[in-house]
Copies of this chain bind each other. A is one copy, B any other.
Amino acid sequence: MISLNYRDARPIYEQIKDELRRLVVTGALREGEKLPSVRSMASALAINPNTIQKAYGELEAEGYLTSLPGKGSFASVPETDVGKERREHLFLRLGEIAEELRYLGEDEQAVVSRIKQTYTAAGGRGLRRGFREKRSGPEKKQDPAKSNEDPS
């Protein structure tokens, strides 16, 4: 699912964050889908569980992940307010990159085409939260509908 690059300047937990975020936004991981447990992914990548824990924790702060103690971690869509900060950050970076590309000689057409390519390639993926239907994923931080079992 994830491969690490020890030559990469980014720390390991950043690589994991970026890769997991990429899997979510590209649709490879759908909302509500269960991710490997902290310990199992640590074992699979042959690294320390604390490193995975850090990546999961920060990704949860971004809203791309929801963790439920005792149950697991699940891919999720950032709440509108959390996603707002993220979107503002992304728009800022977008402007900086466009500015530099322009300086390097790329015309508007070339840059816009690259944007349109992304939206064309993506099918019906990535609709707003308000437009999506309910699904199997955990609602907020609460326990998803459980059966009539009595724990004790």
Residues of A whose CB lies within 8 Å of any CB of B are: 21-22, 24-26, 77-78, 83, 86-87, 90-91, 93-106, 108, 111-112, 114-119, 122, 125-129
Contact = CB atoms under 8 A, between A and B. Distances in A.
Contact of A115 (B21, B111, B128): B111
Q: Point out which of A26, A96, A128 has the most chain B C-beta atoms below 10 A from its C-beta.
A: A96
Given A108-B119, A112-B116, A128-B105, A90 B94 contact: no
Q: How many copies does the complex hold?
A: 2
Contacts of A97: 90, 93-94, 97
Nearest to A122: B102
A25 B126 contact: no
Nearest to A121: B99
A93 to B, nearest CB: 6
Nearest to A80: B105
Given A21-B100, A102-B122, A95 B114 contact: yes
